[in-house]
Amino acid sequence: MELTVAITGASGTIYAHRTLQLLAESGVVETINLIMSGSALTVAQVEMGVNLKDAASHDINEWLGLEPESRLIRLWRLDNLAAKPSSGSNKQAGMIIVPCSMGTLGAIASGAGTNLIHRAADVCLKEGRKLVIVPRESPYNSIHLENMLRLSNAGARILPASPGFYHRPTTIGELVDHLCFRIMDQFDVPHSRRSQWTGEEVV
């Protein structure tokens, strides 16, 4: 399976980090086309203390705990509109934008994309491929909500960064995993089921 993952400048870099790790661990994902916005690099440094500016693939591998020589991650420049994810003829399962800023959401919803993230998302919509958008904003204004509805009507899956609590998480990592497992489910990528609802009665 080939997927594109985009990281934008919304808060929640930890969701992107864990999503990439889970995809790498799944055994079914062979290629990840990774795109990061300029704001995403700033937020990553603020939230996780990692400097990914001018990063190469081996730097990303180190960040994710992968072997230095791993070829799983293919890093694409934001301004490279000739990259593989920009063409519908490049067969892939779809795209995940995690986290997704409201600016990116609005650009995709309007169809007026100016960078590779916008273009790759537009390609998924026009080709009928899965586009999973993980917005992280609060509160939403009416423009945000209308853009989400517009994208949902166009075929995108809106999966807000709203983890559940029924699995009784005790750490931030367990909260993050819960949301990332839901992202995996959109592409039937195998993962731990430890936070899955069992339907058992509570006594």
Domain ranges of the chain: 2-185
Q: C-alpha distances in angstroms, 141 versus 51, 97, 146, 149?
A: 32, 20, 9, 13
Distance CA 138, CA 202 (A): 32
Dihedral angle, C-alpha 54, 58, 62, 66, nearest 10 °: 150
pTM of the model: 0.93
Q: Which CATH superfamily is domain 2-185 in?
A: Flavin prenyltransferase-like (3.40.50.1950)
User: What does the pLDDT average to over 17-35?
Assistant: 96
Which pLDDT tens digit goes with each residue over 107-151? 999 998 899 999 999 999 999 999 999 999 999 999 999 999 999
Digit-coded pLDDT (tens) for 54-111: 888 889 999 999 998 899 999 999 999 999 999 999 999 999 999 999 999 999 999 9
